[in-house]
């Protein structure tokens, strides 16, 4: 059985206001071709299908059109789990209909572990794979908050909550395998931050907690798992030195920080319960390029790109000593008549003069909400020993806001 592991599509994400639907469509068309050419039996999508909980009509169209194309083969399966960017109720809404097309969706954690189990059958109607389709585990799914908790208490509760959830679902998987009377592989899915995982500046991964909160060690995952398909981190990587615990990474560079990163999806071919694993390179559908330095360096970089007839999207970071007040005009004149598109210009020399006391390379777009709050604490001279507790409380509020599901109906009390 051939299984393809991918995650973090983030359909609908824009880059400095620039829509990227053509990129998403090109990727999904490429993925459809790969699935057909490699005769893939199962596609796993480990969270963050969309970039936000209320995706646009265009984003939804791309998603459902892809599922329609993939489901054209009656003996192929798709398993989709929700990530922290997804609305669980939105993903779940059509799941009963999608089941008829062998598309299995798990948008939120269930009280019953068996609800997150999916047994997949081959063309001979024999069981071939058991999937523990575990979605992003929200704070309320795994932890009961108590007044006066320390950060250490929260760390312990989150880790234990994740451990318990995986244990219960995997125990149900082992029981199911025993009933099948056949030793089929168990593949688990997850959308979380594994301790030691590699990230990239500007990759869009929300750091939901400070310190080591919500970062789990590999020992929380039961040994019965033959392969663990993870999402959330955008860098393709193995976890804890194990070939069988992997992030597929995002298929498209989410920001300029990922522009030079080689994107891939993971292909598994099971022989018995042991998968043969290879990474399949994802093409670059839109070039992203950062040009950094003084005017001479940046202008030279633009000329080089023009010589290659590049259609790159550009991030310009001016670091020259000269105060280039007309920098934007000069840049747009330099790219006029070409396929080059300038998305962002950072003039650090001007910032140095106008933003006294601030880091000259720092702009609001570079900061997340926790960074801004920390700057606020510092500007009000809050003592260091109080900052950690205040920042923890603030981030717990942010977690609650991020995990709210605006698409879900509120129960009347």
CA atoms within 13 A of residue 323's CA, in its CB half-sphere: 6
Mean pLDDT is lowest, of 135-149, 293-307, 360-374, for 360-374
Q: Please count the other Cβ atoms lying within 10 Å of the Cβ belonging to residue 179.
A: 10
Q: Where do the domains of the chain lie, and which CATH numbers do they carry?
A: 2-281 (3.60.21.10), 288-362 (3.30.160.720), 370-402 (no CATH)
Three-state SS string across the chain, please?
CEEEEECCCCECCCECCECCHHHHHHHHHHHHHHHHHCCCCEEEEECCCECCCCCCHHHHHHHHHHHHHHCCCCCCEEEEECCCCCCHHHHHCCHHHHHHHCEEEECCCCCCHHHHEEEEECCCCCEEEEEECCCCCCHHHHCCCCCCCCHHHHHHHHHHHHHHHHHHHHHHHHHHHHHHCCCCCEEEEEECEECCCCCCCCCCCCCCCCCCCCEECHHHCCCCCCEEEEECCCCCEEECCEEEEEECCCCCCCCHHHCCCCCEEEEEEEECCEEEEEEEECCCCCCEEEEEECHHHHHHHHHHHHHCCCCCEEEEEECCCCCCCCHHHHHHHHHCCCCCEEEEEEEHHHHHHHCCCCCCCCCHHHCCHHHHHHHHHHHCCCCHHHHHHHHHHHHHHHHHHHCCCCCCCCCCC
Once rounded to an integer, what is the mean pLDDT over residues 368-372? 70
pTM of the model: 0.85
289 neighbors 315 (Cβ within 8 angstroms): yes
Mean pLDDT is lowest, of 113-122, 168-177, 309-318, 369-378, for 369-378
Please say if the pLDDT value at position 412 is more than 50.
no
What is the structure's pLDDT at 138?
86
Which residues, in sequence order, are bridge partners of residue 347?
318
Give Cα separations from 100 to 71, 88, 164 (angstroms): 9, 20, 32
Please say if the pLDDT value at position 389 is more than 90.
no
What phi and psi, each to the nearest 5 degrees, are found at residue 47?
95, 160
343 neighbors 313 (Cβ within 8 angstroms): yes
Q: Categorize the per-residue pLDDT at 406 as very low, low, confident or very high, splitting at 50, 70 and 90.
A: low
144-177 pLDDT, tens per residue?
Answer: 666 666 777 777 888 889 999 999 999 999 999 9
Once rounded to an integer, what is the mean pLDDT over residues 19-36? 97
């Amino acid at each position: 059985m051939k299984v393809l592991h991918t995650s973090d599509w983030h359909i609908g994400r824009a880059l400095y206001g620039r829509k990227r639907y053509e990129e998403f469509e090109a990727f999904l068309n490429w993925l459809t071709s790969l699935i057909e050419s490699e005769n893939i039996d199962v596609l796993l999508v480990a969270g963050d299908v969309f970039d936000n909980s209320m995706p646009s009509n265009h984003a939804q169209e791309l998603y459902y059109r892809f599922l329609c194309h993939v489901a054209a083969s009656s003996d192929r399966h798709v398993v989709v789990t929700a990530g922290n960017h997804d609305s669980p109720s939105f993903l779940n809404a059509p799941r009963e209909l999608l089941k008829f097309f062998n598309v299995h969706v798990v948008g939120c954690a269930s009280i019953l572990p068996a609800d997150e189990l999916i047994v997949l059958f081959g063309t001979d109607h024999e069981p071939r794979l058991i999937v523990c389709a575990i979605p992003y585990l929200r704070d309320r799914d795994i932890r009961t908050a108590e007044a006066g908790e320390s950060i250490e208490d929260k760390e312990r509760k989150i880790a234990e909550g994740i451990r318990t959830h995986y244990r219960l679902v995997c125990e149900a998987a082992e029981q199911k395998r025993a009933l099948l009377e056949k030793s089929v592989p168990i593949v688990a899915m997850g959308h979380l931050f594994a301790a030691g995982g590699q990230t990239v500046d500007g990759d869009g991964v929300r750091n939901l907690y400070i310190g080591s909160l919500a970062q789990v060690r590999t020992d929380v995952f039961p040994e019965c798992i033959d392969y663990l398909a993870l999402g959330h981190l955008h860098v393709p990587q193995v976890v804890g030195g194990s070939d069988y615990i992997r992030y597929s990474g995002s298929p498209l560079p989410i920001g300029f920080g990922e522009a030079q990163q080689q994107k891939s999806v993971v292909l598994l071919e099971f022989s018995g319960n042991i998968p043969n694993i290879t990474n399949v390179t994802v093409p670059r559908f839109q070039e992203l390029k950062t040009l950094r330095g003084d005017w001479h360096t940046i202008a030279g970089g633009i000329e080089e790109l023009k010589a290659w007839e590049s259609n790159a999207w550009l991030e310009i970071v001016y670091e020259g000593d000269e105060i280039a007040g007309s920098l934007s005009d000069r840049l747009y004149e330099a790219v006029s008549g070409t396929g080059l598109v300038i998305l962002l210009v950072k003039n650090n020399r001007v910032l140095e003069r106008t933003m006294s006391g601030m880091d000259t390379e720092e702009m609001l777009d570079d900061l997340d909400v926790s960074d801004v709050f920390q700057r606020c604490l510092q500007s009000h001279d809050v003592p260091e020993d109080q900052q950690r507790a205040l920042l923890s409380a603030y981030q717990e509020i942010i977690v609650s806001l991020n995990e709210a599901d605006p698409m879900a109906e509120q129960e009347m009390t």
